[in-house]
Amino acid sequence: MRAAADPFAEGSRARHAAVLARFEAGAPVPPLAMPSHSGLDARVSFATCGSRAVAVKTFHRGALGQAGFAGAAEGHALASESGLGPQLLAAEPGSATLVTERLDAGWRPAMVPDFVTGGRLGDLLAALKRWHGAGKVTAVSDPRAEFAALAEVAAAPGMLALPATAGMGLAQLGDWVARICDALEAVPGEPVLLHGELMVSNVLLGPEGGLRLVDFDRAAMGDPWRDLASLALELCVDDADRGALLAAWLGRAATPAELARLKLMSLAEDAIWGLWAIAGEAAEDRGGPELYKYACNRLVRLRLHLSLFDMAQLFGEVRGT
């Protein structure tokens, strides 16, 4: 039996160009880390197929997690079936490309003020709860394993060092992540279907109060607090903000243990995404200032929160001790 061809044997530029040749000309989406979070996993172009607007997304080598392209395709298919995301039109393993409908007329990426002061937080949380209950996928969210795999890449010869602004080395960062995961795993959450990349820019707002989620590349079964932590990192400044977010989610005031869980999970998220960006900076298809800038911002925020949080208290509250 002939082994399946490796879709990543060829660079993403050539694969993306070959797929785009089948569509009418479109515009490339530039990679941006701040304030949006787009074009970092893949080459993305907007194009048309007949009268239909589409988004063509060809993944870079090494950009996805352990579930790879199959996991991304599975997540997008479920989002399409549930109506919570754009319709999936094609998933092509040979080129590691997804083609989805493009929501254009009247639709726009969300911004932080839409949810902080614009009255749309309830709509977003309702959509997230629907997604959490929308079904199951094969991939399993494992922050400890994700960090370990990225740390192995980051420790390889020739890799970039952590930015000096991180204020710590890879070993110290790994120690914090291990302690955080020990505390979170001591009282595990009931697994749900996670979005896995719930940044504000992965939410689209449309006409008549419409709201869709996009970019289900890291959909996985895991602790719902991981999606909440991603939102908290963008929407919250202090514990008052975090408490308000949790009250909107829970329908009641959060307990100290729940607030502590959110804060610990947010620390793990920044560590994982920071290393993901460092690894990407050294990759042939993905290197560039956007990823390094992204790593710096993630790791500086992690350092700030470590200096502000009473870590011993958080560990005790999560464990109930």
Residue where a domain terminates, one of 108, 130, 150: 108
CATH of the domain at 231: 3.90.1200.10
Q: Are residues 150 and 240 in the same domain?
A: yes
Q: Are residues 70 and 117 in the same domain?
A: no
* Number of domain units in the chain: 2
Residue where a domain terminates, one of 108, 123, 155: 108
Q: Which domain holds residue 195?
A: 109-319
Residue where a domain terminates, one of 67, 88, 108: 108
> E-strand spans in the chain?
24-29, 42-49, 52-59, 88-92, 97-101, 108-109, 192-194, 203-205, 211-213, 220-222
Q: Is 174 left (phi over 0), alpha (psi -120 to 50) or beta?
A: alpha
**Residue pLDDT tens, the chain, 321 long:** 445 567 888 899 999 999 999 998 778 888 887 777 788 889 999 999 888 999 999 999 888 888 899 999 999 999 999 999 999 999 999 999 999 999 988 999 999 999 999 999 999 999 999 999 999 999 999 999 999 999 998 888 878 788 888 889 999 999 999 999 999 999 988 899 999 999 999 999 999 899 999 999 999 999 999 999 999 999 999 999 999 999 999 999 999 999 999 999 999 999 999 999 888 887 777 767 778 888 999 999 999 999 999 999 999 999 998
Q: Are residues 31 and 135 in the same domain?
A: no
CATH of the domain at 86: 3.30.200.20
Distance of CA 83 to the CA centre of its chain: 20
Q: Are residues 119 and 57 in the same domain?
A: no
- The model's pTM: 0.94
Task: Note whether residue 190 is domain-resident.
Answer: yes
Q: Are residues 41 and 154 in the same domain?
A: no
